[in-house]
Amino acid sequence: MKLRDVKEILDADVIVGEDKLDMEVNTAFGADLMSDVLSFAKSGSILLTGLTNDQVIRTADILDIAAIVLVRGKRANADTINLAKELKIPILSTKYILFETAGRLYAKGMVGCVEKVDNASARN
């Protein structure tokens, strides 16, 4: 699906990256713990999170995360938004909770970037 579809499905606001809504995104990872994101998230995935600080943007940049979806109606502060603009990482904000966000995307065909963590290939 396209990032535009993610926006529609989640009734999300686009905070950064209005020009990137045609980007193709098909996998996702959801966590508030950036250490877990670094362990398991795959490049090109979208990141669903309730954490809104600079480290979310840095982590997304390090991993080449396609876009960040802030859940539970969270908003990032102006500095964090500027960092995302600088690093060209789209941010969407949805009022759905993490569970609903993931479920709604999954129902429309998006899958996890890894299914289970006992798969050693998660780190490669």
Angle separating helix axes 78-86 and 54-63, nearest 10 degrees: 20
| Residue 33 sits in the site that holds other proteins (CB under 8 A) | yes
Residue type, 52: T
Contacts of other proteins in 55-74 (CB under 8 A): 55-56, 58-59, 61-64
The half-sphere exposure of 73 on its side-chain side, counting CA atoms within 13 A, is: 1
The correct pick among 73, 75, 87, 117 for binding other proteins (CB under 8 A) is: 87
Please, what is the minimum distance in Å from the beta carbon of residue 86 to other proteins?
Answer: 9
Identify whether the C-beta of residue 72 lies closer than 8 Å to the C-beta of residue 93: no
Binding site residues, other proteins, CB under 8 A: 32-39, 43, 51, 53-56, 58-59, 61-64, 87, 123-124
